Amino acid sequence: MLHVDDLPRIADRGLLGSFGRTTAERLAMQREVANADAPLVRGRILHLPLILPATPDACHEVLVTQARSFEKSPGLRVLLHDLAGQGLFTSEGELWRRQRKLMAPIFTPAALSRFAEAMQQTAERAADRMSPGQSIDLAHETTRIAMTVVGNALFGTDTFDEADALGAALTTALGWVNGALTSPTIVPHIFVLDLTRKLADHSPGPVRRALERIRGTFESPILVPGSRSKALRAAMAVVETRIHELIAERRRDGVEHHDLLSRLLHARDADEGGAMTDAQVRDEVVTLFVAGHETTATSLAWCFYLLSRHPEVRARVVAEADALGDGPITRFDPERLALTTRVFREALRLYPPVMMFPRRTLEPIELCGTALPARSLVFVSAWAQHRRADVWRDPDRFDPDRFLPEVEAARPKGSYLPFSAGPRFCIGMHFAMMEGPIVLATLLRRFHFELDDSREIVEDDFATLRPRGGVPAIVRAR
């Protein structure tokens, strides 16, 4: 059996190791993973070895077959602690299992179908605000639309975007998490967290309690005094007040609502019959709000960029949108938006909004013939899988027909991962796969968006893989 030290190494890129400090460095790291022949390669973050599964099989093992031997990397949990608390994205173990079971029925295609019309109406309202000749940033527009869509789905209100205090506060908090994600201080932070946990487990009563108190402070991010921390605290105060008001109002009013908040409040465990506490509902609401808009908005922005670079595909997508007629989309029919859906999926391949899934082993395991000790960092890269030349012919080329059913059927498991895979795959996948094509078709039916084709747009990886500098466009009448 191989050991971590036997694995092929990828390039070192300074203090943070192979991880890199900039988006370009992180993409270069993933390109190396995409080009690797071995199932696993080895990098480094600060002093820690970083295992990078390179082949689809290796990713499938981590995410699906051996999923029980992994937890999400604790760094993410710490950074999202104040915002998403113990919500579905960050929780682990029994709590996560219970919550996933409670929430799964809310996110089936059938349960979500009633949101199709609201998705279209939100995009129509955004188009109503546009006029020919106007300069817009499509990344900003799609963020507004996606925020309104998820706000509407959660709370049943139409006016929800970043102009709303809650939307603005969540945007500020997410911006803070973005900034902290690539900070090297998170590694020593996790080291202290683990160390205090380990010491507490082996210490007598009073020492244990003291260590647990210290550990408690390290469960959340350490805020360095300054304007960013002040802005974060102010934003979090707004989030707490507004979300608790929304939950309390809903509990009081007794009227039947059909939004996700009501469904969360009424969800019952089939075996134990238990409902969620208000604190848990708060964490889930914030999680869904954050996870549910930035990702979809980013993919939509990339779609517009890709379509502008490929006018022949754009013409076919516009024809598909026109064929829908003027009426409301009351039920999402993927057949009628087949090409638009393939474009959305191809954008998710080239620019996966969540490009890496950081994991840590819970116990010693064997992965693809290599012995990994407990607490090994294993980062699955969707980006690398999506750029493998042995899976995707000419992988950097935009080609929506890669997602024709017969082509797709021939691809190995673990090769297409925009929504991850296994037990922790994205619960909002059907929501996003409905929203993306509906919003794209609705906007393209109304306007032509003219981009400056001499300007290449590059990636910027914060929490999601955004187009750097947005997607500036001029609105043209059709």
Of 378 and 426, which CB lies nearer to ligand HEM in the complex structure? 426
Q: How far apart are CA 319 and CA 362, in angstroms?
A: 51
Return phi, psi of residue 382, to 5°.
-65, -40
Instruction: Please identify, using beta-carbon distances, which residue of 55 and 299 lies nearer to ligand HEM.
Output: 299
Residues 295-314 that bind ligand HEM (CB under 6 A): 295-296, 299
Is there a contact between 329 and 120 (Cβ–Cβ < 8 Å)? yes
- Residue from the set 17, 75, 418, 472 that interacts with ligand HEM by CB under 6 A: 418
Nearest residue (CB) to ligand HEM, 154 versus 475:
154
Q: Which is nearer to ligand HEM, 332 or 431 (CB)?
A: 431
Query: Which C-beta is closer to ligand HEM: that of 120 or that of 196?
Result: 120
Q: Is 341 in the site for ligand HEM (CB under 6 A)?
A: no
User: Which parts of 87-146 interact with ligand HEM (CB under 6 A)?
Assistant: 88-89, 100
Identify which range of 227-235, 275-283, 419-427, 445-453 contacts ligand HEM by CB under 6 A.
419-427
Beta carbons of 465 and 298 less than 8 angstroms apart:
yes
Distance CA 81, CA 90 (A): 8
CB of 329 or CB of 426, closer to ligand HEM: 426
- Are the CB atoms for 429 and 70 separated by under 8 Å? no
Please tell me the distance from the alpha carbon of residue 368 to that of residue 414, in angstroms, as a whole number: 14
Q: Which of 126, 173, 247, 288 binds ligand HEM (CB under 6 A)?
A: 288
Q: Encoding tokens for residue 418? A: 């925009």
Minimum CB separation of residue 100 from ligand HEM in Å reads 5
Comparison of 69 and 296: residue with beta carbon closer to ligand HEM: 296
Laid out side by side, the sheet with 70-72 consists of 40-45, 48-53, 377-381, 356-361, 70-72
Identify which of residues 76 and 475 has a Cβ nearer to ligand HEM in the complex: 76
The secondary structure of residue 54, as a DSSP letter, is: -
Query: In terms of CB distance, is 196 or 415 closer to ligand HEM?
Result: 415
**To 5 degrees, how large is the angle CA 430–CA 434–CA 435?**
115
424 binds ligand HEM (CB under 6 A): yes
Among positions 342-371, residues that touch ligand HEM (CB under 6 A) are: 348, 353-354, 357
Angle 338-350/311-322 helices, nearest 10 degrees? 140
Interface with ligand HEM includes 80 (CB under 6 A)?
no
Q: Which is nearer to ligand HEM, 82 or 215 (CB)?
A: 82
CA distances from 403 to 56, 345, 346, 398, 408 (A): 17, 7, 7, 11, 5
Q: Which of 419, 441, 466, 475 binds ligand HEM (CB under 6 A)?
A: 419
290/284 Cα distance (integer angstroms): 10
The token duo for 374 is 């407990």
Q: Which stretch binds ligand HEM (CB under 6 A): 14-22, 51-59, 407-415, 428-436?
A: 428-436
Q: E strands within 314-373?
A: 356-361, 365-367, 370-372
Q: Is 84 in the site for ligand HEM (CB under 6 A)?
A: no
Q: At what angle do helices 294-309 and 338-350 cross, to 10 degrees?
A: 100
Q: How far is the CB of 33 from ligand HEM (least distance, A)?
A: 17
Q: Is 451 exposed, middle or buried (0-12, 13-18, 19+ CB in 10 A)?
A: middle
* Binding residue (CB under 6 A) for ligand HEM from 155, 431, 447, 449: 431
**CB 381 to ligand HEM: min, Å:** 11
336 DSSP 8-state letter:
T
Work out whether strand 135-137 and strand 70-72 pair parallel, antiparallel, or are unpaired. unpaired
Rounded least distance, CB 380 to ligand HEM, Å: 8
Q: Does 427 bind ligand HEM (CB under 6 A)?
A: yes
x/- mask, ligand HEM, residues 227-266, rule CB under 6 A, reads: ----------------------------------------
465 is an interface residue for ligand HEM by CB under 6 A = no
| Residues found near ligand HEM in the complex (CB under 6 A) | 72, 88-89, 100, 150, 287-288, 291-292, 295-296, 299, 348, 353-354, 357, 418-420, 424, 426-428, 431-432
